[in-house]
Structure 1
Amino acid sequence: MENFHEITFHFVVWYKALMKKLLGILIFTLFTGSAFAITCPADRNDYFCITPEMAPNSPIKLTDFYTIPARIMGLFSKELQTTGYPLMLDAQWESPFFGAGVSFYNEQFRMMILGGTTRIQGMSLDAYAAVVCHEMGHILGGAPHQTITGAEWSSSEGQSDFFAASVCLPRYYKAIGELEHNIAKRVEKAGFEMMNSMKEFDSNSVGQGRKLVRHAVNVTVVNETLINNYPSIQCRYETFRNPAKRASCWYKE
């Protein structure tokens, strides 16, 4: 999820770390460029493009699109401060494209989320929170880190999932009032719904019919930790199903 389609009309949410009780103070500043209407190509069935008007029944509404990442950023204000760099949320509701990711340049982190991501089939509020937590994991997840030049600061994909499942989602659910004994079930649900909605976009699953099984399965144990690649969808789900330890299908002890 590192390739993005840029559009000139966008919202920039500027985060300022001041935490009070559950949610920090978030200062939203709206920047507009020369806006233009986006139309999806009618002759490209293979081209992902879903505008807000094309998905009026999407479970993620405009307010959810901004408030979920804003809340999660607030919950991790102290940890973000320790990085020494600000985090900017560039959330583009009007974008019809699928994509989310984190980058670092000009002495700041930038989390981009394209609106089309929330309109893919099967996406849910819990799955969207998992997407945000995964991207936060690239910044705060720790080792193992990627070894790609310029991305050495970023936790690997598997580690970002592990952070999302074991740290970020539990903290988020606790903050929104979920009962303690339900949090593990909610984490599993979020992970499954995220992976299930994204399986059609997973190149690792082409030969497997892009299937996702919602229970423990025998996954391949890796000979070396996956550092710069995504684990399979099934392997990634395993992290959310059992977040007590790093899954052996991507992490080598």
Structure 2
Amino acid sequence: MGKKMILGLVFALGANMAFADNGCFPENDLKFSHKTKSANMSKTEFDQVIKRALDVYGPIVKKKYGKKLIIDGEWENDRVNAHATRDDHNNPVISLLGGMARHPEMSKDGLMLIICHEIGHQFGGAPKQFRGSSSLRSWSSAEGQADYFAATKCLPKMFADTEETKLVNSMSDEESFEDARKKCKDDICVRIVLAGYSVGKVFASLKTGWEPPRIGEQDRFQVPMTEYKHPRPQCRLDTYVSGANCEVDREKNFDDVDPKIGACYRAENGYDDARGARPRCWYHPEVYFK
């Protein structure tokens, strides 16, 4: 492990937030070898996605937060995951493991969603995770909130090229495309939902008994309190669908305490449905997350 990553890990542990707690997926033993000739994604494509993310979001991080966005592409790491931490200068560091990119269900847009999810841990706002077993809040946004950030704030910027987005959508599976269109008002939303569908299928493969999500379905379970860890696969896809449909200004940041700022939200009773709001399968409406 390089010096930069060691420093990032030390910083994260010093903040009482374990490195693995900010993984896009739960820790798992699934691996896809970098020596496999029929890999789902080439190293060139892997590097291209990372470069695109840095080109688009690097300047945003620099302008808004005065920090350098660092993305380490660990192509030869065969494990299926990605992680977010910070280095000794408090710069956001994202590690993408090559095995995740080589997963048969992972698309290039899905990989971009993963990057946006990890950026969401850094800048996604409330609700934020807790520091270990304490009642103090971490710098890291909850898993569901990182997903919501990815769909509402980050991916629309990554997919802003309308002609490219139309082309990518046209090359997708016809059934999935039609299902996504029924959930969306525009092409960018469709592309986000399809990226989320890819990630959802990868996520579902990591645990025995988990069913792959379906674009036309919805997780009807309602949590009694906000879930800070990884929601179920269908719930995560629901979050991408909701986020892609949120029409709040994409330039308006989420707040670190007030979850309504920058977000679509329900009526004060917390139960009335609102298009684009955080799904109740992981989120329980609260006034503030202090």
Same fold per TM (> 0.5)? yes
**Could you say which residue in structure 2 is the equivalent of 1:146?**
129
CA distance in 2, matches of 1:209, 1:160: 21
Does structure 1 residue 249 correspond to structure 2 residue 236?
Answer: no
Change beyond 3 A, Cα 1:105–1:216: same
3-state DSSP of counterpart to 1:215: coil
Among 77, 93, 102, the residue aligned to 1:119: 102
How far residue 115 of structure 1 moved from its aligned partner, in angstroms, is 0.7
What is the number of equivalent residue pairs in this alignment? 206
Q: Match for 1:154: what amino acid?
A: S
Change beyond 3 A, Cα 1:209–1:101: closer
Gaps of 5+ in 1: 1-5, 12-45
**Could you say which residue in structure 2 is the equivalent of 1:236?**
236
Q: Match for 1:61: what amino acid?
A: S
Does structure 1 residue 131 correspond to structure 2 residue 163?
Answer: no
What's the % identity of the aligned pairs? 26
Q: What does the per-residue CA deviation read over 1:94-134, in whole Å, with 9 as the maximum and x for residues that have no partner?
A: 22222211112312321101111111121111211111111
Does structure 1 residue 66 correspond to structure 2 residue 47?
Answer: yes
How far residue 197 of structure 1 moved from its aligned partner, in angstroms, is 1.8
Give TM-score scaled by structure 1 length.
0.73
Q: Match for 1:83: what amino acid?
A: Y
Q: Match for 1:240: what amino acid?
A: Y
Give TM-score scaled by structure 2 length.
0.64
Does structure 1 residue 157 correspond to structure 2 residue 143?
Answer: yes
3-state DSSP of counterpart to 1:53: coil
Are the counterparts in 1 of residues 197 and 237 from structure 2 also a CA contact under 8 Å? yes
Instruction: Give me the CA root mean square deviation.
Output: 2.6
Are the counterparts in 2 of residues 55 and 119 from structure 1 also a CA contact under 8 Å? no
Gaps of 5+ in 2: 6-27, 167-184, 244-275, 286-290
Change beyond 3 A, Cα 1:166–1:102: same
3-state DSSP of counterpart to 1:162: helix
Q: What does the per-residue CA deviation read over 1:21-43, in whole Å, with 9 as the maximum and x for residues that have no partner?
A: xxxxxxxxxxxxxxxxxxxxxxx
Does structure 1 residue 178 correspond to structure 2 residue 133?
Answer: no
CA distance in 1, matches of 2:214, 2:165: 26
How far residue 57 of structure 1 moved from its aligned partner, in angstroms, is 4.0
- Of residues 192-201 and 217-226 in structure 1, the stretch that sits farther from structure 2 once superposed is 217-226
Change beyond 3 A, Cα 1:212–1:218: closer
CA distance in 2, matches of 1:83, 1:109: 10
Are the counterparts in 2 of residues 226 and 251 from structure 1 also a CA contact under 8 Å? yes
Among 206, 215, 218, the residue aligned to 1:201: 206
